[in-house]
Structure 1
Amino acid sequence: MDDPPTSAIGRRLALMPPPALAGIVRYFHVEWDSAGPAIVPASPYPMATFFAAGGSLVPSTGGRLALFREPMLCGPVTAAMPVLWQQNTSFISALIEPASFATLFGMSPGALRDTPVALADAEPCVPARALAEAVAGTRDIARWVGALQSWLLQVLARRGGRAAPFVLPAALLDLPAPEIARRYGIGERQLERRFQASYGQSMRAMRQMLRYTRALGMLMHLPPRPGLLTRVAMDAGYHDQAHMIRDFTAYTGRPPGAWYADGDDRLHRMYRYDTPHRAIVTRA
């Protein structure tokens, strides 16, 4: 496609990765002709981002603001992150499954938690200039996706000899830590160390974040109705609605009810996708 559909102008797309990247990439996020301040909501998925136009001013190392126009990496985002996009900012990001980040880039995602850095600084052994030039040289989103997919497969092939990461199936994450450790035949401390190295945060923090993402997914799909927030809180695993409100305020910068209160809120537009892209972002 030479241009996205009209409904995507100034918005965002979510695209599935090819089967060869299943379990490595969660999905591809495309931001098209956006500008101004925005809040990046918390996410357990590290990101590799390539700009086609514009740039993003974000908090980086040492709490300093940095303007990124070149490819960048970021680990899990554990709190609402303010950014400022330049005029006509367009980019594509690969949201990476946390346990696969080390396989691709040779470091724990925790090393870059809440910290965007230049890809060239974080991993100089992973050449990306050709990909960056390919993305910047066209407005064809299909070519962006194809080039990024090819690059990730090349990086994966280069890292083929790396030890397999510790992967904990989502169905087990809700079990008590002693039970998980017993099933893996290791101690609780070793379990926590392995999990932290693979996922970039503790098991407790990951459980809390996944509970929030489940609730957010429900809000993105369900129409408003009386009692909905209480029902979502219960179904997502919260003790009560107040508990969910505290998490949402920390993770998105506003309470969950604001999702319905202001559909045109540009500051919090980062998790507003059109159908069918919404289903890709919120799938289990």
Structure 2
Amino acid sequence: MNPYDVLIAPFTEFEFMRRALAGVFALALGAGPLGAFLMLRRMSLTGDAMAHAILPGAAIGFLFAGLNLYAMTAGGLAAGLLVAVGAGVVARATGMKEDASLAAFYLISLALGVLIVSLKGSNVDLLHVLFGTVLGIDDATLILIASITTLTLVTLAFIWRPLVLECVDPTFLASVSRAGGVSHIAFLSLVVMNLVGGFHALGTLLSVGLMMLPAATARFFVRDLTALVTLSTVIAFAAGTIGLLVSYHLGTPSGPSIILVAGLAYAAAVVFGPIGGLVTRLVPGRHLEA
């Protein structure tokens, strides 16, 4: 089998593969920058919690309208924002830390969402909600994902400076500007929206993977923020493309294939990454040579 048949033919011959590729590209454009900021702000687990938090809202939308794009999207957005705000309120009104509060909220949300889907739907519906159907993306879903990505990039352009400052020196930002709180809320809203968009392609359990794994991988290769965001986006798109090809040729589920490819890239970066990788740490540098 020649390289064309392996790498190009699946996308030229089948429309559903081209749709899936376009969807993965749109998801990567939004997930790359957000994943980088989540990691730099030490909010990686927050992204995971928010991915689970959208499930009950999407499940309620499914309960009333079945696998309806707009009902599940509206429900997922409402549930994600509710959990984000609720966890913050509990953390500030009680002695509980915000990470513990988020963990409690997302565990309850996950269990509630699975229960709601199970009550009305079949095992196939449950698998669709949990793991997505990236190969089944239609025009409406593609437009929704592209719209979320466009809004994400435009919003990031406006809040870029306060986001960067909050990563570097939040105390200084608070002393000179009130933009920190607004940018934080806007950033969390963007995370929720992108997780909802990813939910339709990769499901609730995997959508955060395309956001966090490429960012964590890129951190082993670059230090500069712009390079980190760019490389995260490139890795996310590459993992999506290779995952689709693996799914096509081996007959494996597309969503898990994409995330596993991203996971393999992360594992390779942990071992061979030039910035903090295991090999780099074990092999003495030139400045130690006689």
Same fold (TM over 0.5): no
Higher helix fraction (1 or 2): 2
TM-score if structure 1 supplies the norm length? Answer: 0.29
TM-score if structure 2 supplies the norm length? Answer: 0.29
Larger gyration radius, structure 1 or structure 2: 2
Higher strand fraction (1 or 2): 1
Which one has more relative contact order, counting CA pairs under 8 Å at least 6 apart? Answer: 2
